[in-house]
Every structure is written in C-alpha cells, then in structure tokens.
A and B are shown apart, each in its own frame.
Chain A
C-alpha cells in the first residue's frame, strides 16, 4: 500500500521512468507493454526525424558555404585555384572545410573525441600525482603547500564544475530566500517594506548581478591571489535565481488556509509551534515550487555568468570554443548545448519529484 503511494507520487516527476519501474516491480501488463511501446516508438521516431532534419539542414548550409568558397576562388584566382579548392573540400582536408552548422555525425564524433580527451587527461593527472607523491609528502612534512595538477581541465571536469557552481548557488539562494521569505510572509508590514526591493531587483539581468558581485568580491579578495572565479559565479547564480523562492515562500507563508490557523488558535499553539508545526508545513508545496523554478533559472543563467567570470565551466567552454574557431569547435559547442539541455532536464525532474513528495492536496484535511 505504502509502496504504491510512493510510486504514484514519483510517477508525476519521473513519469518517463514509469514503464521501467513497472517492469522491475512486475506489475507490467499486456496493455501496458503495447502502450509503452507506442510511447517509446513515438519518441524514437521524433528523435530520428529531428536528426534527419538537422542533417539535411547542415548539409544545405555546408553546400552553400562550399559553393561560395569555390566561387570566390574562381573570381579572385581563376579556374585552377577553384579546382584546387573543390578538390580540397572534397578530400575532407581540415584546412579548407566550410565552417558552419555541424552535422549530427560531426557532433557525435566530437563527443567521442571529448571523452577520449578526458581519458588522456585523467591518465595524465594520475601519472602526475604518482610522480609528485614523494615530493609532495616532503613538502607537506616541511609545512609547505603540496604541488597540485594545474593542467587543462577535461570536459567531464568542466561539467562537474558547472554542476558544483549551480548547486552552490542554489544552496545560497535557499539559505537566503527561504528564511527571508518566511519572515516577510509572517509580517504584512515587513512585506510591504520589502516589496519595492523585490520588485526592483527581480528583473535585473544575470550580467548585472555578476558585475555587482564582482565589484564586492574583488575588493574582499584584495591582496589574495587565489582564484575567486568560482566564488563570484556561484554567488551571482544564487542571487540571480533566488527571487522565485523568495516570492513563493512569502506567498505560501502569508496565505495559509484559515482553517489551519483556527486549529492553531483553538489548540493554543505558541508562536514558535504555530510557525513550525502549522504555517511552514502548509506552505512547503509553494516553497518547493519556488525552489524548482530557482534551480532551473540557476542552470539557465549559469552559462552567461561562467562566461563572464572565467570560471572553468560549460559557459567558459562554449565561449572558448567559439573564440577558438578550430575545425571541430562548432561541433563541440553543440555537444555542450546538448549536455546543458540534458542536465537541465534532469535537474528539473529531480526537483519535481521532491516537490511531489512534499505536496499535499489542499482539501486532504477537510
């Protein structure tokens, strides 16, 4: 019974896993198989369709740019140069390839090369640690800092940095927005005092938040040569994303059902008890809705902020690849785009699942 209820709750957030869950709990029925096959089939067909359109589109762009290149060689240098250009493009030599939207195959091979690169760097790192083990032990014994690996970050490291930044920012947003939201939700006069503040700062763009945080953190870190890019980026992400939680918490706390308040009064709960036993639990669903929005906003603004803060994350990766202009840069950017999208999707599902766990129907007690 309990099991079933929990599954049902998760079903809303992780509905796409439902057939799998059902498979493992052996509650799979014949009708389910057909309907889930149908659903999966539709998804697969739509993905194939998307890849096909993408492939055709990139092919058309590629041809357009190739034709332009040959045409240009013809008008500027004559027939021989144009033929050489055509041969060069056809041979697939990287020096003369048109630089345009990469095809799905190119993106896939870029992903492969990023993973291979990650393996190389990990091996490098391990070798470095092994090589330096003795020296570092000596340094630590002498009370000095150990020498750490400062080479290039691999793609996986970059993704992990981004996730770390988002979670640090999310935590910061939670720690600031939830307590303040509760306090201003409880007091109508504080609410009107804070209202202008929220209304003014809520629409401020991530770039401006970054600049503001930069001004402050730069001064705080003055004389300190350590890298503060991570600190700046997670604080900016947190400040930028916390508004949804703040507003939702304040609204949830201020709009607790009158029946619950009456119960608290009749039971003569103290203020502390009233807040923690009645008001907070009843506003949890709204608070979690706010947190879910906050997490998705945090992930969205992260890219722009990392780019500005030069923090070793996906944002900087995308920007550097764009500046790089290498042959496979465009493909790497698209890989990063998909990784960002997929992680964002997973984070949202995660929050939705948590949100459904704490939610209750408003009329359940009535």
Chain B
C-alpha cells in the first residue's frame, strides 16, 4: 500500500452551469521516503491539488488516502510550505515558529518548545534574526522561516507548494540544497509542486507533469535515476539529466501547443495599407 494515494480525484469549483472542472482523474501514489515533484504551468491547478492533499479542500469525487486513511482535515503529520510564505506579520520569527511547535507538541514544557524553536531557526540559519518581524526580512529569509515552521512540527510528510517561486536564482539554489539536506537527514516523504523543470529534476526522485487545466490531469511520470547527493554543475553534463530534461520540456511544450491550437477565436484584422506621403 502506498504512503499517499490519490484515486480518481475530480475537483470542480462552482455549481450548475458555472461549474469549472479544475482537476480531473488525478491518480498518484507516493511511497514512504520518496521525493516526488509535480511540474506544471501557472494556473494549471497545482495549488488546488496541494490543498486537496493537505486537507484544506475536499475533492468533488475520488479519494485521498494518507497511510491508508482518507484525508478529511488538515493534520500535523503533513507539514505545508505555502507559495506565499504566509507568515503572521505581527509575530517575530521565533514567535511564528513557536506557534506551530506549541500546537504540534501541546504536552511539552515551554523550555523544551523554546529549545526546539531555536534548533529549527538555527537549522535555517536565521538565529541572528530570531527577534525580527517578517517585514524586516528578505524574501529568501521569509521562506526559510516558513520552512522552519513547517519542519519544526516534525511532520511525516512535507508538502511544498511552489516554495521557491518568488525568489531570485541564487537564493533559490541555496534553499533547494537546504531543503534537500533536511529531507535526506531523516528521509521524510516529500511532495514538491513547482513550475521549474530544472528544480524538479535536481530535487526529486520522480517528476510528474501536470497537464494544464481546466480538466488538469497528471501526465506520464519521469524517473530520475541520478545518484544523490547531486551536483548542480556536474548535472549539466550528465546525459541522463539532459535526456530527462528534454523529454519533460518537450512534453510540456506539446501540451502548451495543444492548448494554444484549441483556441479557435479568430481575430479579423482591419485592412491597412501604407500611405505614401512623398507624392
């Protein structure tokens, strides 16, 4: 039995004539300790998919099974890192993490919880900024707080919804490595949603493209057989990497082209001829 299983998931927003089917026939299974990445265009229903898995949304039909149990609500076992960090601006870094830790371990004493907060803030190397408010931090630092907050709850599975989408390339690379480090340390199960094919291949064991919505559905999966730890520079010369990368991009481009050709709207252009001012 798979660790996380999605069976024939359909998700529709709205009712009656206004209904739009965002996701249709999604099937996915993730094994324990696996790192799976889902790549897709923006607006293809990625966030909806994440919210179905973490329990914020319920599927219109189909079942989400986590360790064999249907997902009915959010759970501390599945930590979520949101696309837009979602830190509480009136709390400082330590307080943001503390709030999560306190909920996850209600029985622990305050000292133990504080210790845990310090440990995880240190892990994302933000100890000097522990008393700062989110607005005093850069985007990368904010996202690291969000990572610390999600991981400090000690979830069995980490769900990341485009966690690095808003960051610049350099910060992005660093954070990718940090996330991989943490993941490999105690081999949690991880699901990464991203629009960056390179990031997906660099980080994941399996990459699955999401055909864009409406009626988004998962495409064929691509296994990444590259040994860990992976080296970014060496990766560029790895024939396996190149092949997979090209295959995924080709697949996504094909869908893109397909989507474009579906649009039948034709624009009538006015007849305009250049006028000569010389005569």
Q: Which residue of B76, B82, B100, B133 contacts A259 across the interface (Cβ within 8 Å)? A: B82
Check: A366 CB closer than 8 A to any chain B CB.
Answer: yes
Contact A366 B74 (CB under 8 A): no
Q: Is the CB of A282 within 8 A of B90?
A: yes
Interface mask (A272-308 → B, CB under 8 Å = 1, otherwise 0): 0100011001101000000000000000000000000
B87 touches A365 (CB 8 A): yes
Binary flags per residue of A234-274, CB closer than 8 Å to B gives 1, else 0: 00000000000000000000000001101101111100010
Closest B residue by C-beta to A361: B135
Cβ of A83 to closest chain B Cβ, rounded Å: 77
* A364 contacts partner chain B, Cβ-Cβ < 8 Å: yes
Known A-B contacts A262-B86, A366-B84; A267 and B135 likewise in contact (beta carbons under 8 Å)? no
Closest Cβ of chain B to A19, distance in Å, is 27
Interface string of B75-98 (1 = CB under 8 A from A): 110011010111111110000000
CB distance from A319 to the nearest CB of B (A): 46
Q: Does B195 contact A (CB under 8 A)?
A: no
| Chain A residues, CB < 8 A from B75 | 268
* Residue in A closest to B79 when the chains form the complex, CB atoms: A266
B258 interface residue (CB < 8 Å to A): no
**Interface presence of B103 (CB below 8 A):** yes
Say yes or no: is B217 at the interface (Cβ < 8 Å to chain A): no
Q: Which residues of A contact B76 (CB under 8 A)?
A: 268
* Nearest Cβ on chain B to A2's Cβ, whole angstroms: 10
Chain A 53-75 near chain B by CB (<8 Å), digits 1 or 0: 00000000000000000000000
Contact B134 A364 (CB under 8 A): yes
Q: Does A128 contact B (CB under 8 A)?
A: no
Query: How distant is the Cα of A262 from the Cα of B89 in the complex, in angstroms?
Result: 15
Contacting residues, chain A, for B100 (C-beta < 8 A): 267
- Which of A269, A361, A364 has the most chain B CB atoms inside 10 A of its CB? A364
**Known pairs A266-B80, A364-B134; A260 contacts B86 (CB<8 A):** yes
Decide yes or no whether B247 CB sits under 8 A from chain A.
no
- A266-B56 in contact (CB<8A): yes
Quote the shortest CB–CB distance from A358 to chain B (angstroms). 8
Q: Mark B129-157, 1 if CB is under 8 A from A, else 0.
A: 00001110000001000000000010000
Closest chain B residue to A360, Cβ basis: B89
Task: Pick from B79, B89, B103 the residue with the most CB of A within 10 Å.
Answer: B89
User: What's the Cα separation between A361 and B90 when bound, in Å?
Assistant: 10
Q: Is the CB of A267 within 8 A of B89?
A: no
Query: Which residues does chain B contribute within 8 Å of A269, judged by CB atoms?
Result: 99, 103
Given contacts A364-B89, A364-B134, contact A265 B56 (CB under 8 A): yes
In the complex the two chains form, is B133's CB within 8 Å of A364's CB?
A: yes
- Beyond A266-B80, A268-B74, A268-B76, whether A365 also contacts B103 by CB under 8 A is no
CA distance A364 to B142 in the complex (A): 10
B74:A361 contact, CB within 8 angstroms: no
Residues from chain A with Cβ under 8 Å of B135 in the complex: 360-361, 364-365
- Give the residues in chain B near A281, CB-CB below 8 Å: 88, 90-91
The answer on a CB contact under 8 Å between A268 and B86 is no
* B194 contacts chain A at the CB level, 8 A cutoff: no
Q: How far is the CA of A361 from the CA of B87 in the complex (A)?
A: 12
List chain A residues, Cβ under 8 A from B55: 265
B84 neighbours in A (Cβ, 8 Å) = 259, 366
Given the complex, which residues of B lie within 8 Å of A260, measured CB to CB?
86, 88
For B142, the chain A residues whose CB sits under 8 A away are: 365-366
* A/B interface sample: 6 pairs, CB < 8 A: A259-B86, A267-B104, A268-B76, A273-B103, A284-B90, A366-B87
> 4 new A-B pairs (CB below 8 Å) besides A263-B88, A268-B103, A277-B99?
A260-B88, A266-B56, A267-B153, A364-B134
- Across the A-B interface, the 9 shortest Cβ-Cβ residue pairs: A364-B135, A364-B89, A365-B89, A365-B87, A259-B86, A360-B89, A281-B90, A366-B84, A365-B134
